[in-house]
A and B are shown apart, each in its own frame.
Chain A
Amino acid sequence: MDLGQINPVLLAASLMVAATPILLAAIGEMVVEKAGVLNLGVEGMMITGAVVGFAVAVNSGSPAAGFVAAALAGAGLALLFGLITQVLKSNQVATGLGLTLFGLGLSSLIGKPYEGIKAPSLGKLDIPLLSDIPVLGPVLFRHDPMVYLSLLIVLGVWAGLKYTRAGLVLRAVGENHTAAHALGYKVIRVRLAAILFGGASAGMGGAYLSLVRVPTWVEGMTAGAGWIALAIVVFASWRAGRILLGAYLFGGVSVLQLNLQAAGVAIPVEYLSMSPYLVTILVLVIISLRGNHGAPGSLGRVFHASS
């Protein structure tokens, strides 16, 4: 074992890469939950995004096309969820679970011919000048475009929810759908839009796994990343800034445990592999110690306008 092999600068840089899939999925799910909908199908949308993005990128040679296709695929599954839960008023927990099981099956069906192929490279976007700063340059400014895009999305969601009218309406719908309906807002439409956004984000997060992080298609490759994203939304108390913090924290844990595995630490591999999940549980426990932490008032409840 040689801990000296672990380079802190490279570790910090790969942390951002490791965190991006979860960050994308979590920020999308946060918007969905802010609108009062609990979609437990994040894992299913992520893995479908991963396989569709991979297939399109391999066939077209363009990773950008892959990400667009992944976003559409994620939104497509989300639309299914939205129609069943919002229009047909089904139970959101059960439908979300169903979406995950469905997505896992769909992805392994689509992915069979793509096993063992390497993804076309997305390339790096070195930001001029900034990327030359010692230490900070390689950590922050030598990434692929998706890392920056994910940060922009977080910023956009934060500003959108806080400062725009649309954000206010979305929060009103999530906080109290009866009152929002009485004020004349289209509860179902707002929620469907949020669900679609969440699906597209999760799909892109999945594609980031298969196109950049790994970068190849492996059946079941999300391995609970979608569920961790759901946990991060709780951890973040439904705030965009804390989503970023949470995702990077988990990115850090998963990169560190992989590095420890590679460095041959005397802890068995299985125990290192389970650490991200244990950390997730630990974080959920710590958060629940704080008591009420700002979940949207109508989260998970079925809305049915009686008139």
Chain B
Amino acid sequence: MRFALEKRPAPSRLMLGLTPLFAVIATMLAGGVMFWALGANPVEAIRTIFLDPLFDPTFGAYSRPQLLVKAAPLILIAIGLSLGFKAGIWNIGAEGQYIIGAVVGAAVGLAFYPTESRLIFPAMVIAGALGGWAWAMIPAILKTRLGTNEILVSLMLVYVAENILASVASGVLKNPEGRGFPGSRNFARDYPAASNLELLPGTGMHWGVVAAFIAVIAAYVLMTRHKMGFSIRLTGEAPRAARFAGVNPTRLVVFSLGMAGALAGMAGLFEVTGPAGQISIDFGSGYGFTAIIVAFLGRLHPVGILLAGLLMALTYIGGELAQLMLGMPAAAIQLFQGMLLFFLLAMDVFANYRIRIKTREAA
């Protein structure tokens, strides 16, 4: 007796929906083993990561709002990435687009310091989106004009962006009243017109969260109702058919990379003006890379990404809590998130194939 895989004509929708849940459960089990190996009580560790941030009487009040704060950038970036991923366009440099968006948007705001005008914050958001868009256009144009590999170019540009960030944080954007410390003026504290504060106290709701919800709805409409969404899906599922149907691959690359860049840039701007407060060398915290996991975990579907973003935000907060309460190393949670992606990809086999048990003579 042996197992054989039989390709399904189309991926099973039931399995596409169920496998992310299986992957989460498998990750909890494997993660429990890892925590046990690190010397922690596995049940306690899993409870600290997944339940305490929401329900603990002492920490809940602080960590519940954090859920939205951390989920918003992940969802914004992942929605943008999913457009390209669905069509087989691999932009993995969202971290760079996020950084450049934050830098450009912050620069526009700081140029008007200390003007108090309602127009400044919207202008910064637009500038942030344009900054991220422009950064994503580099791989897009190289890909469409010269056929250069967008995976490698977009990733290389992350390192370039990080160096630009380091340069401006201690250079042109440095706070002139900061006593020589690197980092820009603090938007959240010193510059009300350019700050992205909580809209409803105690909820974590800021403009980035609003933008994330809008992005989810817009992406859903785009993918189900608009011709561009149809072209994206067709290209991903049957590239040859897409060509015969007259889908313009150049437009597709420019659109999907551009949208991903703009959304990532906006996410960066919302982050520096709100939760991070200022441009500093390390405000990024790797959202651009974690968003890749969010996009896959959400099955590249807007609603799935919304849920996956919230779950991943929970692991961030729970990870911090586990660090604090159980002395868990910070890297453990990163490993945990990586495992989740692995389990999910491994379980894709159930969606794309039927598992048949073959008896010997049948082969």
Chain A residue nearest to B336 in the complex (CB): A105
CB of A227 within 8 A of CB of B156, answer: yes
Q: In chain A between 250 and 307, which residues have their CB closer than 8 angstroms to a CB of chain B? A: 268, 270-271, 273-274, 277-278, 280-281, 284-285, 287-289, 291, 304, 306
> B342 at the A/B interface (Cβ < 8 Å)?
yes
Q: Compute how far the CA of A72 lies from the CA of B82 in the bound complex, rounded to whole angstroms.
A: 35
How large, as a class, is the contact surface on chain A? 35 or more
CB of A289 within 8 A of CB of B345, answer: no
CB of A102 within 8 A of CB of B349, answer: no
Chain B residue nearest to A272 in the complex (CB): B163
Known A89-B353, A270-B167, A289-B146; contact A280-B152, beta-carbon cutoff 8 A: yes
> B307 at the A/B interface (Cβ < 8 Å)?
no
CB of B332 within 8 A of CB of A102, answer: no
Task: Return chain B residues, CB-CB under 8 Å to A88.
Answer: 345-346, 348-349
CB of A231 within 8 A of CB of B156, answer: yes
Task: Return chain A residues, CB-CB under 8 Å to B166.
Answer: 270
CB of A284 within 8 A of CB of B338, answer: no
Task: Return chain B residues, CB-CB under 8 Å to A230.
Answer: 152
> A161 at the A/B interface (Cβ < 8 Å)?
no
Q: Compute how far the CA of A16 lies from the CA of B147 in the bound complex, rounded to whole angstroms.
A: 31
> B292 at the A/B interface (Cβ < 8 Å)?
yes
CB of B155 within 8 A of CB of A227, answer: yes
CB of B163 within 8 A of CB of A91, answer: no
> A84 at the A/B interface (Cβ < 8 Å)?
yes
For B163, B166, B345, the residue with the greatest tally of chain A CB atoms inside 10 Å of its CB is B345
Task: Return chain B residues, CB-CB under 8 Å to A103.
Answer: 338
Chain B residue nearest to A38 in the complex (CB): B151
Partner pick for B151 among A40, A91, A98, CB 8 A cutoff: A40
Known A91-B348, A97-B92, A288-B147; contact A105-B163, beta-carbon cutoff 8 A: no
> B213 at the A/B interface (Cβ < 8 Å)?
no
Known A101-B289, A109-B332; contact A90-B157, beta-carbon cutoff 8 A: no
Number of A-B residue pairs with CB-CB distance less than 8 Å in the complex they form: 135
> A133 at the A/B interface (Cβ < 8 Å)?
no
Interface size on B, residues (CB 8 A): 45
Main secondary structure of the interface of B (DSSP, over half): helix
Q: Could you mark each residue 57-91 of chain A with 1 if its beta carbon is under 8 Å from any beta carbon of chain B, else 0?
A: 00000000000000000000000100110001111
CB of B335 within 8 A of CB of A102, answer: yes
Known A98-B345, A234-B152, A304-B7; contact A89-B146, beta-carbon cutoff 8 A: no
Task: Return chain B residues, CB-CB under 8 Å to A231.
Answer: 149, 152, 156
Q: Compute how far the CA of A91 lies from the CA of B333 in the bound complex, rounded to whole angstroms.
A: 24
Q: Compute how far the CA of A128 lies from the CA of B152 in the bound complex, rounded to whole angstroms.
A: 42
CB of B156 within 8 A of CB of A281, answer: yes
CB of A270 within 8 A of CB of B163, answer: yes
> B24 at the A/B interface (Cβ < 8 Å)?
no
> A3 at the A/B interface (Cβ < 8 Å)?
no
Known A224-B156, A274-B159, A289-B146; contact A95-B334, beta-carbon cutoff 8 A: no
Q: Compute how far the CA of A112 lies from the CA of B167 in the bound complex, rounded to whole angstroms.
A: 28
Chain B residue nearest to A96 in the complex (CB): B151
> A237 at the A/B interface (Cβ < 8 Å)?
no
Task: Return chain A residues, CB-CB under 8 Å to B218.
Answer: none
Q: With both chains docked as a complex, state the minimum distance between the C-beta of B275 and any C-beta of chain A, in angstroms.
A: 22
Q: With both chains docked as a complex, state the minimum distance between the C-beta of B299 and any C-beta of chain A, in angstroms.
A: 12
For B7, B148, B296, the residue with the greatest tally of chain A CB atoms inside 10 Å of its CB is B148
> A221 at the A/B interface (Cβ < 8 Å)?
no
Task: Return chain B residues, CB-CB under 8 Å to A105.
Answer: 331-338
Task: Return chain B residues, CB-CB under 8 Å to A274.
Answer: 159-160, 163-164
Interface residues of chain B, those whose CB is within 8 Å of chain A, are 5, 7, 90, 92, 142, 146-149, 151-153, 155-157, 159-160, 163-164, 166-167, 171, 289, 292-293, 296, 329-339, 341-342, 345-346, 348-349, 352-353
Nearest 5 interchain pairs by C-beta:
A102-B338, A105-B334, A105-B335, A108-B331, A270-B167
Known: A227-B152, A231-B156. 19 other contacts (CB 8 A): A84-B345, A88-B346, A90-B349, A91-B345, A101-B289, A102-B342, A105-B338, A106-B335, A109-B331, A223-B159, A228-B156, A270-B166, A274-B159, A277-B157, A281-B156, A285-B146, A288-B146, A288-B148, A304-B5
